[in-house]
Amino acid sequence: MTDWLAGLSRAVITPTTPVWLAGYGSKRVPEGTVHDLWVKVLAVADAGGRRGVMVTCDHMGVPRPMYERIRDEVGRRCGLEQSQLMLLFSHNHCGPVLRDDLVDFYPLDEQQRALVGQYSDEVTELMVDAVVRALDDLRPARLSVGSGVTRFAVNRRDNPEQQVAARMARGEPLAGAVDHSVPVMAVRQPDGELRGVVFGYACHPTTMCFNQWCGDYPGFAQLAVEQHHPGATAMFFTGCGADQNPLPRRELSLCRRYGRMLATAVEETLLQPMADITGELHTALRRVDLPFDGVVSASSLSQHLESGNAIRVRWARRWLDVLSHEPQTTLATSCPYPVAVWQLGAHLIVALGGEAVVDYALRLKRLYGPQTWVAGYANTLVAYIPSDRIYREGGYEGPDTVYEFGHAAERWAQGLESRIVDAVMEMVDRIRGTACGGG
């Protein structure tokens, strides 16, 4: 079926200046390149002219100011509404630092801040230009979806990393919730030739922790798919993998292996009968206010100055400086959280901001069916987004890591999961009502 138009574009975003590596605050200027980093774009339009643009990139996180610049410029140049742009970052930890991202993680000097700012401006323009080129490339296409499986993601909360390899060697089952599905969308020409493929997996791209540019396992997976299909563009998105790691890890051979495993799942899906997408495109976007459990004060911040945690100390000093120089400032008591929903024919895609844990994907798939796509790491890197279960359990992905992401608070309030899921349900109901001829 060729009810659709599709356009594809891509651009290399590997820095050409000595910008620091992002993620794991101890890293610095890279010492080499394993493979290039990319931004890739899929633009689609239905028979009624309704358009949507999906952007994937090899950044650890896109900060809100950068997302808003891209969103506004795409709106100005392309006439897209906010809901028609879905920006997905892989959360790769071997990509470059961006301006305004995890501002307390990196002890940048003035020279490095200038380099980061210059790179951020350049990559913003590259991403906007890639969107324009993908929309200019719209041509008749067949869209189809399917799903595969691969099993290297491990729930890192329930399986101590140092014990995983031995447990696997003994054949012991690993514990904890996981989502091992590999959603796949094929973009084909009317004659059947593959032009592009979008696929995802719910797992942190944190196999490697070294000083080289690298897309981690998603980078190797995309390279493998593209080598198997010359001329096609492979795009990856990270699912709700905030509590999932590729284990064991820390070896490049393992990173390549996980990339091959993921690419194999994609190839096996492409070889099976896939469901054609027919019908209309409808998009929605909401910003849900996620409340903090209180905000910081000069007194509470001062207690962290002797914590011994470098990130926490930089965070406390920064907000103490704000309160000192702007004593009348009103600190935000909540954070705007982006939730997006796309309905392509009967196919549902949900995209959640920040680092959402796997419980969100499992719950939404129970609500809307196992073939529902649930992407994490969408539009802005807000913070870890715990489910109700993980909020109660605590731990690293729980409510107490808000400060790491620069907010003027230390802890989320309760009830995040219901706010987020309720927003998804409201948008799905509204979209499906519209698609069926409702208001």
Tokens 């209309």, residue located: 280
Domain identity same for 218 and 169: yes
Q: What would the pLDDT profile of 69-125 be if each residue is shown by its tens digit?
A: 999 999 999 999 999 999 999 999 999 999 999 999 999 999 999 999 999 999 999
Domain identity same for 304 and 158: no
Written as six digits, the tokens of 384 are: 């870890």
Domain identity same for 241 and 319: no
Domain identity same for 95 and 161: yes
- What does the pLDDT read at residue 435? 63
Tokens 């350049």, residue located: 122
Domain-embedded: residue 117: yes
Domain identity same for 366 and 302: no
Residue 390 predicted with pLDDT over 70: yes
Number of structural domains the chain divides into: 2
Secondary structure (3-state) at 234: strand
Domain-embedded: residue 398: no
Give the pLDDT band (50/70/90) at residue 2. Answer: low
Q: What would the pLDDT profile of 122-174 be if each residue is shown by its tens digit?
A: 999 999 999 999 999 999 999 999 999 999 999 999 999 999 999 999 999 99
Domain-embedded: residue 425: no
Domain identity same for 339 and 313: no
Domain identity same for 320 and 366: no
φ, ψ (nearest 5 deg) of residue 346: -95, 0
Domain identity same for 22 and 47: yes
Average the pLDDT over 292-311 and give the result: 94
Domain identity same for 65 and 9: yes
Report d(CA 376, CA 357) in Å as an integer: 8
Domain-embedded: residue 408: no
Q: Which of the listed residues 391, 414, 433 is the one where a domain comes to its end?
A: 391
The whole domain housing 111 covers 4-289+335-391
Domain identity same for 310 and 176: no
How far, CA to CA in Å, does 224 sit from each of 34, 69, 218, 228?
Answer: 14, 33, 10, 6
CA within 13 Å, CB half, 37: 27
Report d(CA 279, CA 429) in Å as an integer: 17
Average the pLDDT over 1-24 and give the result: 92
- What does the pLDDT read at residue 207? 96
Q: Which of 167-171, 294-298, 337-341 has the highest mean pLDDT?
A: 337-341
Domain identity same for 223 and 259: yes
Domain identity same for 91 and 142: yes
Residue 218 contacts by C-beta under 8 Å, 6 or more apart in sequence? 58, 90, 92, 201, 205, 236, 238, 259, 262
Task: Using CB atoms within 10 Å of the CB of residue 41, give its burial: 0 to 12 exposed, 13 to 18 middle, 19+ buried.
Answer: buried
Share of the chain above pLDDT 70, in %: 98
Domain-embedded: residue 427: no
Domain-embedded: residue 399: no
Report d(CA 323, CA 317) in Å as an integer: 10
Average the pLDDT over 384-390 and give the result: 98
Tokens 């969408």, residue located: 378
Q: Could you tell me the pTM of the whole model?
A: 0.96
Of the chain, the end-to-end C-alpha distance in Å amounts to 28
Dihedral of CA 254/256/260/262: which sign? positive
**DSSP for residue 405:** G
**DSSP for residue 34:** S
- What does the pLDDT read at residue 439? 42
What is the average pLDDT value for the chain, to the nearest integer? 96
Nearest 5°: CA angle at 428, between 351 and 57?
A: 15
φ, ψ (nearest 5 deg) of residue 300: -70, -35
Domain-embedded: residue 252: yes
Instruction: Look at phi and psi of residue 58 and say left if phi exceeds 0, alpha if psi is from -120 to 50, else beta.
Output: alpha
Domain-embedded: residue 428: no
